[in-house]
Structures are given as structure tokens and as C-alpha cells.
Amino acid sequence: MIRHHPDDALLLALAADRLARGPAVVTATHVERCSHCRARLRDLDAVGGALLEDAEPALLAPEALARTLARIDAGEAHTSVPKPPVRSRAEMRFLASLPAGMTWPRSLRGSTTTPWRWLGPGMRWSRVTLADDRAANVFLLRIAAGKSLPSHTHDGIELTQVLHGAFHDGRERFDAGDFDEADGRVHHQPVVEPGGECICLASVEGRVAFDGRIAQVLCSLVGM
């Protein structure tokens, strides 16, 4: 069961095309898997006029919510009539490296991924390059059972969507399907639950500040 969702402000920003591509893809990955958030988007659409006008009308594209819902509905239609996408050999190899039972998000279609790279003991990562914004800082983290990311905080917004497995960050437990938004007020150390590895999709705006010297060196190597 999904317990952690994007807040209304983030859903509205997604619907209104006001998010940068990285955060938009991570949030859309949550929405495609979460019936609660799809219903919430429809509720926001129903009260939309007033709500959107109270927000920042100059920045909102007209009919943006309706368009977003149509896109999501079109995605749902695709799942019922699957059309095999054309995939490169590298992409096939990457998809084959994923754990059994893990669904590859529709929001990542057209994106490319690097092979898994070593980040630390039990920790690997893959850079995700979005087709429509190659500079967006989006990546996958793959962490073994019981391992943890070094403790860190951020000077920007970090969005995380759990694709597989579960972790606990000292505040809350996050299962597959859960979404997390962290900023500079959050200082956390995600620890993967025992019993299975965890794969997350994340976007980071601004820099991540790790506590330890080794962690800082590692992260500058990988450009995080």
C-alpha cells in the first residue's frame, strides 16, 4: 500500500507544466502507479478554476490539468493494450538487470540509462538521461539489503520514488510506490530494509551535502 504521496502543490505544479523535467518525471512516475494521486488530480481539476486562479494564474497554462489527466489516461490505455517499444541492445541489457517483478516506469520511456556503476559497498547507481532535457539531474540508486546511503542533507529539493524494495530514513518507512520530497530542512540517512535490495528513482535540484569526507569525494566523482 502506498502511504507517501506528493503534496497538492507538487501535483498542481506537475499538471500545470511548471516543474523542471527532472522533478516532473519523478512525480509522474509516482502518479502513474498511484490511483490515489490520479483521483486527487481529478479532484483538483474539478475545483480547478478557483484553485488555479488563486495560485499563480500568469504561470499556468490553460487546460493544463485536463491535458495531464488525458496523458495519464492515455498511459493507462497503453497498459491494457501493450505495444512493444523499440529498444536498443543496451536498454535491453539494463532492463534485464532489474529484479524480477519490477515494473519499468512508463515515464522513463525514451530516456537512456548508463550501466550500473559502483558507488560504495552494496551501492550502485545509474545516470538517467531524459530525452527532452539531457542536463536534468536524474538517477537510479540500487542499494543492497541492510545497506545505507551516507547521511546527507540538500541545498535544493530531492524527490525520490521507490521503484522496488523498501528503505527507512530514520523518519519514516518508504515502500515500493512511495514518494518522498526532502529539502535543506531534512537531514537523513536512508537505510534499506533487510530482506531485499531497493531501487529508487531520484531527481536532485541543487547539491547534495554529504557529511563524511569519503562520501563527499565519492559524490563529487559521480557528479552528485
Contact region with Zn ion (CB under 5 A), list: 8-16, 35-43, 69-77, 98-106: 35-43
Nearest approach, Cβ of 176 to Zn ion (angstroms)?
13
- Give the HSE-up count for residue 149: Cα atoms under 13 Å, Cβ half-sphere: 26
Closer residue to Zn ion in complex, CB, 36/171: 36
Nearest approach, Cβ of 74 to Zn ion (angstroms)?
19
- The three-class DSSP label of residue 140 is strand
DSSP string, 163-200: EES-EE-SS-EE-TT-EEEE-TT--B--EEPTTS-EEE
Contact region with Zn ion (CB under 5 A), list: 31-39, 68-76, 77-85, 214-222: 31-39
The only residue of 37, 108, 163, 176 in contact with Zn ion, by rule CB under 5 A: 37
Determine if 11 is a binding residue for Zn ion (CB under 5 A): no
Determine if 159 is a binding residue for Zn ion (CB under 5 A): no
Do residues 53 and 21 make contact, with C-beta atoms less than 8 angstroms apart?
A: no
Closer residue to Zn ion in complex, CB, 34/198: 34
Closer residue to Zn ion in complex, CB, 36/93: 36
Beta bridge partners of 32: none
Closer residue to Zn ion in complex, CB, 8/205: 8
Computed on alpha carbons and rounded to an integer, the radius of gyration of the chain in Å comes to: 18
- The three-class DSSP label of residue 57 is helix
